[in-house]
Each structure stands twice: as structure tokens, then as C-alpha cells.
Amino acid sequence: MTQDEDLAEVIGEFLVESGEGLDALDQAFVELEHDPTDAGNLAFVFRTIHSIKGASGFLGFQNLEKVTHSAENLLSQLRDATLLLTPEITTVLLLAVDAVRQMLLNIEQSGADGDADHSELIRSMEALSHRPESRSESKVLNHKEAVFAPQAGEAQAVSDDSNREVTSSDDENKSVGELLVEAGKANPEEVQAALAAQLAGDPRHVGEILVERGVLDSSEVVEALNTQRKEAGPAVNNSTIRIDVALIDRLMNLVGELVLARNQVLQFTANQPDSALVETTQRLNLITTELQAGVMKTRMQPIGNVWSKFPRVVRDLSLSVGKKVKLYMEGAETELDKTIIEAVKDPLTHLVRNAIDHGIETPEARAAAGKPVDGTLSLRAFHEGGHVNIEISDDGSGIDSERIKAKAISSGLISAEQAAKLSERDASALIFLPGLTTAAAVTNISGRGVGMDVVKTNIEKIGGVMDIHSVKGVGTTFRIKIPLTLAIIPALIVTTAENRYLIPQVNLVELVRLEADQALSSIEKIHNAPVVRLRDRLLPLVDLADILKTPKKTKISSTDEGEAEVDPRLMPINIVVLQADDNQFGLIVDEVLDTEEIVVKPMGRQIKNIPAFAGATIMGDGRVALIIDVMGLAQESGVIAQGRARSAGEAHSTAVEESVSTQPMLVLGVGSTSRAAIPLSAVDRLEEFARDIIETTGGKDVVQYRGSILPLAYVSQILNLPSSSDDAEILEVVVHTSKGASVGIVCDSIVDIIDESINLQATDSRPGVTGVAVIDGRVTDVLDVEFIANTVRLSGSGRSRAYVAVAS
């Protein structure tokens, strides 16, 4: 190796070690600002800057040496307690860290530390270093005692983390000083004097100081170090190794190819009679699986690597906008693939900055609103169902949905008619539209109308979903759900029109198989869209053949009477129940084959923009199969409704009794303009009856239905409204079953199924009506289905007698 290559290797090591140290400094400074007397933190910061200064001087980076030298002088006074850390000093030191980081970047890119002028920064640090100290000597002495006093039962750990041989707080792993005292090579006073010198700024190890002072011979120190290593086992710096990321990525690609080859071998030997070959294949499968898990683990990193920069971001930004913000982080140890960590770094940073700039109010505004003057920003991460969930919450002013809608209208992004139909959740989601901003002025933080749309786009690029929940005056929470890794994933293999497709298992809820008779009774049509009843809920159905425009094997059509028609000769029907965001839907496929671990490959440019596909893979037989993008498929098919919303907040007690609930509602049309709603859980079936089959018995309208008599109740009479379907030959009927008997609730039309949070407000006592709520942007009467059913069964009047018991 040439001299230049040797120097390049040394500089590379210097950059890596310096970068690791700087990454921890931002948070250390923020913590010091809250506790300026934290001796451990001060020692760590000083050692980090001191190490960079020493190496930069040796390598000839003069600008870097000057900045770190001035920072070291200032830090030495903080450590020696002649100065107490203030926000002003913290700001200057953080600026020095930024300057050092930029010079390290310059060294990495060009081999030189750059020619930027840092003289003003250096003068600022020197001025602060020479500032007269106004504190009393007693306070300085007390602080020094806190810094220098060894803790009982253990030696002070003050050397660099990679040189733990100096001291130890574990009785089983003795420090070099203790070993030297036990061996009679040094006395305790000499070792304590060496430790004190370290605390005073001497960067050398205890053994080096003792040798320099003539207390020991260097061979005695080496002997003590060898003894320590034998007792303590492998040191940390001997149990880890740095590996270039490019090498890890290449290794991951090779493992992916090995997985594909493994799949091909497994498929080839599946029906082979040779037991030895099958056994060898199974062994190959086991080794490949373990190798894959090990390599993937090398790519996993804690999300705390990203979060570690946020204390500095919060501190600087809150100071610049005049706000007080406390940052709380939970789940920093949650691990993600390195590729995903890199992809979420910028979106998370933008959300944190946005929360401080837009969300959290000024101390004066918070005090006026009865809130603590310190705002709270919380970051939370946790694993759930093969995904990582990240939540960014603030206790600020929340999102003003009316203001957002007004801004979107004035910006020409939506029309006033569209805005009027938006729910709270959809109105809040308008902030993701490109070009929308509510900032009063453009600043270096926000107000340019870019950012939130890019955040959402970047999250969706890695297969994640993003949701927002905001309560005006209470706060806002952004929820992000992202996959653990994008490289190798388990998937379900399905077929349609003899083509194979793969569905990521993280989106899979369950598999449903309907036989011929089940399909005829379970599949219905609402607005010409098929649905299936699955455990008391209606599940939208999507035929994969329809989406992909391929020939269908299973036919679902609509008869003249609106029934769902299924050709029984082509049954059974296979339904894959999938989760897209917070919504579930059923995907109809021809066959469900098996599950398999697949290697995700990017698609060619010809088909990469098709929203139904997320990628491709090579199957065991060498053929290419496409991977379904469940979210894109849901959006393409329209099963994600636009009118649903979550609760906008907790209900507050008022003069009128109110309650907040979230449940799917079946919305019914009544008359020409009115609406009513029934909880979807109360709906057993939707039917259409010809008017001429209606009969009357005991003053009730009834129809013969599935071998029994079905009494009818009319929503128009319950609400005392004129019906718009008096002359209609076909009646829309909702069948409700309870207490072993069914009733039919007749409406003028079936409008839609809406799944949103409703604020149910009690009304004056109207029999058959639970209350009134705004559903899908319209005032809607919510029906009391059980009351209606009991009334019809027991004492209902005929349709010609004004429905006295219910509508009086």
C-alpha cells in the first residue's frame, strides 16, 4: 500500500469516527441546556471535540483545527465550572458543530476542509470564553466538586468509549488502575491523581500518565491490560467491524438471487422420488432462510438514528419562532430497513418542523387558551402486523377545517360544492394537496405551498400510508404505517385468467371461499357494485379480472331485479380479504395457490406507472409475476370511499345531550330531499319487492318472504314526510332481523354506506328516531330500528292509517 493510500485510509477512519461523534453532540447539547451541570455530558462533548481537533491538526486540516480549538477552549471552561452553559453559549457551540460537519463533508468530497471564513464564529467563542464570571466562588466550588468527586464504589469513566480499559463500574471487570494497585505496582493515591488529570483535560489513558510520571514501567501497564482483557472477555471494539454500505447492499442482492434459486430448486424437487435429493433441498432451504434473516438483520437500524437529530431541530426552531416546546420520544429502538430509514428521514423532519411552526401556539396564545405555556411534541414508533407505525403528535391548535376548505377553494384546488360535501377528515386531508398553504407569509420554515404533498408522496413510494387526525384546539396527530423492509417479503400467490399475481401478506386479512348456494345468498348489489356480508358487515368486492381487463372465470352480474347473479356452474368463488389503509375489501380471484417469500424487483418503465402493481418477481419456474399494490388497487377500483371521516374530537356536555360514535351507517333517501340512516350492523339484507306482491293482514302491510311473513314499516310515515315513491312499482326494503323475527323497513332509495364519526344530537321525542346527525355533509335522522321493529310486530297500523304509534 502506498503512502497516499495509507493517508486516505486514515482520513476515512477519521471521517467515520468524527461523524459518529457529531451525530450524538446535537442531543447532548440540548440535554446540557436543561442540566448545565451534567458532568458526564460535558466530558463527552469535550472529548469528542478534543479528538477531532487532535486528528485535524495531525492531518493538516487547519481551518477545522482552528474552529475545534476555539470550541475546546470554551468547553474546557464549562467543564471546569468557570462558566455555566447558557442558551447563547449553546447556540454558538451548535453553530461550531455545524461548521465542523460542513468541513468534514468538504474533506469527504474534495480532500480539503474548504476555504469558508469562520473567523466570526471563532471570535464569538473567544468572547464567550473570556466573559467575566458573575457567580460566587462557592457555587463554582460546588460545581467543581460535582464534576471531580468519584462516585462511591467505582472509578470515574472519563476516557473515550472505545478505551474502556481505563475504568470500570462493574466489580467483575476491574479497571487497569485497580489491577495495578492489587498487583502492588502503584498505590491508590497515584491512580487517583492520574484520574484527576484526565478529568482536568489530559486525553491520555491512566497507564500512559503513570508511565510518564515514572510510577510504572510500560511493560507493567501492558501486563495489566492483558489481565483485564482476559477477565472481561472480548472488548466492544474487537467484537464489531465497520462494513461499507455498498458491500451490504451487494450482499443483499446476492441473497435475493439465492432466494429465487432456492424457490426454483424447491419447485423442481417437490415431486421427486429421490429422498436424498429432497433432504438436501430441505437443508438448502433452511440455510438460505437463516442466511437471508442474518443479512437482513445487518440492514436493520433503529429509528432512533433519525430521531437523534430532532432535539436539535426542535430546540433551534422553537427559539427562532418564539415558542416553548418539549419533545418526547418513545420507541426509538424500533428497527427498520436502512433503505426505509433513509426514505422517512426527510418526511419526518418536515412533519416535526411543521408541528412547531403551524401546530403549537405561542406561549401567550396557549396561556390565553388555558394550556401550559410549554407545548408538547411526541414521537412514537412501534411494530404492528409486519409494519412499523410512527406517530407525530402535538398539543397545538389543531387544523381549522373551514379555513383549509376556504383556502383550497380560493386556490382553485376544489370547488365550493365539493368542499361542502367534505367530512372533517377529508377536509383535514386537503393539506396534502400540492400548492395548498395556510401560512400568512413565506418564511424559511414554511409558506411556499410545497412539502406536505411531497411528504405523502414519499411515504407512499415505499409502500406506506399516511393518515391525519386533528381536533381543533386540542392538537394534531400524523400516523404513518410503513413496511419493515422492501427487499424480500412473504406473499400470497393467486391466479386470474391463468396468470399468477402476488399479494403482500402484510395486506392480507383472511381468505373466504363461497360455495354455489352461499354465493347466491351472500353476494348483493348496492348501486350496481357487488358486496358480500361477512360477519354482520358489508364488504365491497373487487374482481381482479375487471381491474386487469382479463377474461373472467367467475361471473357476477345484476339481474333486472337488482339481485347479484352468480353462475353456479363456475363456483366456488375465492375472495381474498385485503386491508388498504383503514379499509377492507374483498378481491375476487380464480384460484389461491400458496405463500412464498419473494424478491421484489422494480418494473420496467412501460408498466411502472400502472397503479395496480407495486413491482415484479421471478417465480420458481423462472417466469415473471407481478406484485399487486393493494392501496393502488383499492383506489383504482374506487372502494376507498371519499366521504368517510374519523371523529373530530370528544363530545362536550352542552344543553342538548350529545354523543359521538363511529360506525358504518346505511343512508336512506326519504322524500325528495330528506335522509335517514340505519346502523349497518342492523341491516340483514337489502331487497327490492314489487308493489303488487304486498298484502295486508291485521292492519299491517306484509310480504311473503323466504317461507315466512315479513311485516313492513315505512320510513316516510315514521318521519311524517311525503314519499317520493308512492307510484313506484318497485320498493326498496331493508331487512332487519332480531329476536328471531324479521321486519322490512321501506325507503324511497338506498343512498350509500358511510363510515364516519357522527355527532348524534338528541331531538324532541319522536318515536322511532334516535337522534339527528350530520352524515356525509347532510342533516340525517338516525332511526331506532329496534323500536320500529317492535312497533310493527306488536301494534302497527296499516299503511293507510297514518302510522299513529310511531309518528304521533
For every residue of 485-552, DSSP letters joined together read -SSEEEEEEEEETTEEEEEEGGGEEEEEEE-HHHHHHHEEEETTEEEEE-SSSEEEEEEHHHHHT---
- Residues 356, 325: contact at Cβ < 8 Å? yes
Residue 392 has what pLDDT? Answer: 92
pTM of the model as a whole: 0.51
Q: Give the span between the Cα atoms of 68 and 700, in whole angstroms.
A: 92
Question: In the predicted model, is pLDDT for residue 582 greater than 70?
Answer: no
User: Each residue of 675-730: pLDDT tens digit?
Assistant: 899 988 788 888 888 888 888 887 788 898 877 888 998 888 888 888 877 778 88
502-530: average pLDDT:
78
What's the full length of the chain, in residues?
Answer: 808
Which of 149-158, 283-292, 514-523 is the least confident region? 149-158
Asked if CATH classification 3.40.50.10860 holds for the domain at 659-792, the reply, yes or no, is no
Which residues lie closer than 8 Å to 102 by C-beta, 6 or more apart?
114, 116
> Between residues 280 and 506, which one has the greater pLDDT?
280
Burial readout 387-421 (b: 16 or more C-beta within 10 A, e: otherwise): bbbbbbbbbbbbbbbeebbebbbeeebbeeeebee
> Between residues 460 and 668, which one has the greater pLDDT?
668
| CATH code, 302-483 | 3.30.565.10
Question: In the predicted model, is pLDDT for residue 807 greater than 60?
Answer: no
Over pLDDT 70: what percentage of the chain?
A: 77
Question: Where are the domains positioned within the chain?
Answer: 1-134, 141-161+168-242, 245-298, 302-483, 489-636, 659-792
> Between residues 178 and 389, which one has the greater pLDDT?
389
Q: Which CATH architecture has domain 489-636?
A: Beta Barrel (2.40)
**CA dist 219 → 69, 174, 209, 225, 356 (Å):** 34, 19, 14, 10, 58
**Is the fold of 489-636 the same as that of 659-792?**
yes
- Residues 575, 541: contact at Cβ < 8 Å? yes
What's the maximum distance between 2 C-alpha atoms anywhere in the chain? 116
**Among 131, 148, 130, 156, which residue's Cα sits nearest to residue 200?**
148
Name the pLDDT band for 745 (thresholds 50, 70, 90): very high
Name the CATH superfamily housing domain 1-134. HPT domain (1.20.120.160)
Question: In the predicted model, is pLDDT for residue 560 greater than 80?
Answer: no
Say which CATH class 245-298 falls into: mainly alpha
Residue 527 has what pLDDT? Answer: 64
Which residues lie closer than 8 Å to 320 by C-beta, 6 or more apart?
445
Question: In the predicted model, is pLDDT for residue 171 greater than 50?
Answer: no
End-to-end Cα, the chain, rounded Å: 100
Residue 239 has what pLDDT? Answer: 55
User: Each residue of 13-61: pLDDT tens digit?
Assistant: 778 778 777 877 777 877 777 777 777 778 888 888 888 887 777 778 8
